[in-house]
Amino acid sequence: MNRTFQRIAACALALLSLGAFAQGYPARPITLIVPFAAGGPTDTIGRILAERIGRALNQAVVVENVAGAGGIIANTRVLKSPPDGYTIMIGHVGTHVMAPAVQGVVVDYVNDFDPLALVASNPQVVLSKNDFPAKDLKELMAYTRANPGKVSYGTGGPGTPAHIMAVYYGTLVAPVNIVHYKGAGPALQDLIAGHIELTFDQAATGLAHARSGKVRAYAITSKTRLASAPDIPTVDEAGLPNFYMSIWHALWMPKGAPREVTAKLSGAIREALADPAVRKRMEDMGQEIPPPDQQTPEGLRAHHKAETDKWVPLIKVANIKPQ
């Protein structure tokens, strides 16, 4: 009987300690891990959110860049961190879906992280060099079908979203001649120069060059038109239904954090995403804020699983490997 009482007392004490911990959270600065070098889109989004989340929590959120291996190094670091709410991370479809599949990482990212919120989404835009014969997406598809494997297509490197999209396009329409670059920037510059014929790039960067007349934009790879580019049709409207791809960003933390901590963090993130100043800065980057039902841990987990179920089989069937 005494042992039973001791166990009950120990459990009660643990619960009281957990509750006290959660009530006092956060008592020190939170680290936000960014899986890329400073200055890129993911780093910028992370810093915008870190400042506003910190204000919501009345505690500093410090950004730390942990680059390498397409995000795998940062992911591993976070997975091994204590699940106390003091280490969180930002990532995207590349770091948490595509890179692990391409590199053969045997980790269930959907369930081995605790999700916090989907925070931004940026669809791809189908681009060609200016003097390409096709004037719209239907003509582009007809041209690639008539010239299978001959249309040169630039990617940011093996296993990147642009590479995965090229393979996806090949399965739905016709194969293209894939040319890998060391980053999306060099691929886009070669498209502008006319050295390659086609690429899919993030709308946030690609549309600026389309508006300036340097490249031709055919369609947005999303269900709805972009508010910042209402003149460019969706892939559904342009003739290639369901050809969707978005570079979505989200926040996660190590698995096992107390519910109260998760609630505080997710609430602070939603507060940040509702801030008009934050929304304006994100929109200026070409990012779209996801709807409220996806700004929750449950919404992010469902979205993450759906994207994993969509892209991982394609990567495996195409046998896409790092180079």
> What does the alpha-carbon distance between residue 222 and residue 233 come to, in Å, rounded to a whole number?
9
Long-range pairs for 189-195: beta carbons < 8 A, 24 or more residues apart: 190/154, 191/127, 191/128, 191/129, 191/154, 191/215, 192/129, 194/129, 194/130, 194/131, 195/152
Helix/strand/coil for 91:
strand
Q: What is the mean predicted confidence (pLDDT) over 166-171? A: 95
Report residue 205's pLDDT band, with 50, 70 and 90 as the boundaries: confident
Report residue 11's pLDDT band, with 50, 70 and 90 as the boundaries: very low
User: For residue 286, what pLDDT is reported?
Assistant: 81
Q: Is the pLDDT of residue 16 over 50?
A: no
Q: Is the pLDDT of residue 66 over 70?
A: yes
pTM: 0.86
Report residue 2's pLDDT band, with 50, 70 and 90 as the boundaries: low
Task: Lowest mean pLDDT of 42-46, 148-152, 156-160, name the range.
Answer: 156-160
Average pLDDT over the chain, rounded to an integer? 91
Cβ atoms < 10 Å from Cβ of 230: 8
Per residue in 114-147, pLDDT (tens digit) is 999 999 999 999 999 999 999 999 999 999 999 9
User: For residue 13, what pLDDT is reported?
Assistant: 47
> What does the alpha-carbon distance between residue 101 and residue 105 come to, in Å, rounded to a whole number?
6
